[in-house]
């Protein structure tokens, strides 16, 4: 559709053609599986099925942070290639009926517990291990405020700005301007908060930081949508400071590699089954062997 062509919606919408754009081949207006495929299960209690999109990065970082803190949070991370529609396999849909990564099975419970939606995974693991979520009432509430702020805000960044700026088949001024304005407003919200405190919930690093860094931290570091210059992210000095501090954490550096299939080969760990995989199973190591 050309920008010069006005679109008049029909009285009843019908799915008659692909929507276009990067993910057109997998977009559809119905739920449920498209094919039978069981999910693999490894040796650890936790089985993560994911891809290193911002939402997937949250789960990888959370597990690596828990392990760094000394918790018994060993996990297997299996790659779900959403470009190939693997999220519509029957096994994955049984774990997450919404067919979105990440999804988690906790086999330490009987019966095993399914956990889907990235915010739910962060909260589930934080409560299970008593980590990265304050127990004091006010601090806990502030952490959850910023966790759920991210859940409500990031669709405007990803499905809104990211789609129209980076993935849509045509560059359209109206949606790009609309969502760029909203993303800049969100960055200002974060910048004002981070002018008041080191981390989003206060002095301590929490699941609120993990959730928001995966989206907004990576955005201001130029890691998603190649939009840092367009959005003039350097204006948000407190967000940049916070993003760089979190990016320097070893657990974050490991976590963002988990189920990563793009970028430099040394940053890609397609599957993670042991801590040693970061040294021996990245794509540069596998290609050289």
Residue 5 has pLDDT above 80, yes or no: no
In the predicted model, what is the mean pLDDT of the chain? 96
> What one-character DSSP code corresponds to residue 39?
P
Report how far residue 194's alpha carbon sits from residue 254's, in angstroms, rounded to the nearest whole number: 25
Model confidence over 102-134: pLDDT tens digits?
999 999 999 999 999 999 999 999 999 999 999
Residue 2 has pLDDT above 80, yes or no: no
| Per-residue model confidence (pLDDT) at position 1 | 46
Report how far residue 147's alpha carbon sits from residue 210's, in angstroms, rounded to the nearest whole number: 9
Model confidence over 156-187: pLDDT tens digits?
999 999 999 999 999 999 999 999 999 999 99
Picking from 1-10, 42-51, 245-254, 267-276, which range would have the lowest pLDDT averaged per residue?
Answer: 1-10
Residue 116, beta-bridge partner list: 103
| Per-residue model confidence (pLDDT) at position 26 | 80
Residue 100 has pLDDT above 50, yes or no: yes
Residue 192 has pLDDT above 90, yes or no: yes
- For residues 191-206, one letter each, b for 16 or more C-beta atoms within 10 angstroms of the residue's C-beta and e for the rest, the string is bebbeeeebbbbebbb
Residue 63 has pLDDT above 60, yes or no: yes
Report how far residue 151's alpha carbon sits from residue 211's, in angstroms, rounded to the nearest whole number: 8
Residue 72 has pLDDT above 50, yes or no: yes
Model confidence over 200-209: pLDDT tens digits?
999 999 999 9
The pairing of strands 113-116 and 46-50 is unpaired
| Per-residue model confidence (pLDDT) at position 3 | 52
229-233 mean pLDDT: 98
Report how far residue 79's alpha carbon sits from residue 98's, in angstroms, rounded to the nearest whole number: 17
Residue 23 has pLDDT above 80, yes or no: no
15-44 mean pLDDT: 87
| Per-residue model confidence (pLDDT) at position 22 | 72
Report how far residue 53's alpha carbon sits from residue 55's, in angstroms, rounded to the nearest whole number: 5
Report how far residue 18's alpha carbon sits from residue 28's, in angstroms, rounded to the nearest whole number: 8
| Per-residue model confidence (pLDDT) at position 75 | 98
């Amino acid at each position: 559709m050309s920008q010069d062509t006005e679109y008049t919606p029909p009285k009843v919408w019908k799915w008659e053609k692909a929507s276009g754009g990067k993910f057109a081949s997998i977009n559809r207006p119905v739920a449920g599986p498209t094919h039978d495929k069981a999910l693999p299960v490894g040796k650890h209690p936790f089985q993560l099925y994911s891809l290193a999109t911002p939402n997937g990065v949250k789960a990888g970082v959370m597990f690596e942070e828990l392990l760094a803190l000394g918790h018994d949070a060993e996990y297997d991370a299996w790659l779900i290639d959403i470009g190939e529609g693997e999220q519509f396999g029957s096994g994955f849909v049984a774990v997450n009926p919404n067919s979105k990564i990440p999804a988690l099975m906790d086999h330490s419970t009987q019966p095993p517990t399914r956990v889907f939606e990235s915010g739910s995974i962060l909260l589930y693991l934080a409560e299970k291990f008593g980590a990265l979520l304050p127990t004091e009432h006010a601090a806990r509430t502030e952490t959850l405020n910023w966790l759920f702020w991210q859940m409500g805000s990031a669709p405007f960044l990803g499905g809104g700005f990211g789609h129209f700026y980076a993935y849509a088949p045509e560059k359209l001024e109206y949606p790009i301007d609309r969502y760029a304005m909203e993303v800049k407003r969100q960055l200002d919200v974060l910048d004002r908060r981070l002018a008041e405190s080191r981390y989003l919930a206060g002095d301590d690093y929490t699941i609120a930081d993990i959730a928001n860094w995966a989206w907004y931290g990576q955005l201001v570091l130029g890691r998603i949508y190649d939009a840092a210059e367009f959005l003039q992210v350097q204006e948000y000095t407190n967000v940049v400071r916070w993003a760089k501090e979190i990016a320097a954490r070893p657990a974050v550096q490991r976590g963002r590699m988990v189920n990563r299939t793009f970028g430099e080969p040394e940053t890609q760990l397609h599957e993670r089954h042991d801590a040693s995989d970061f040294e021996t199973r990245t794509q540069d190591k596998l290609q050289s062997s």
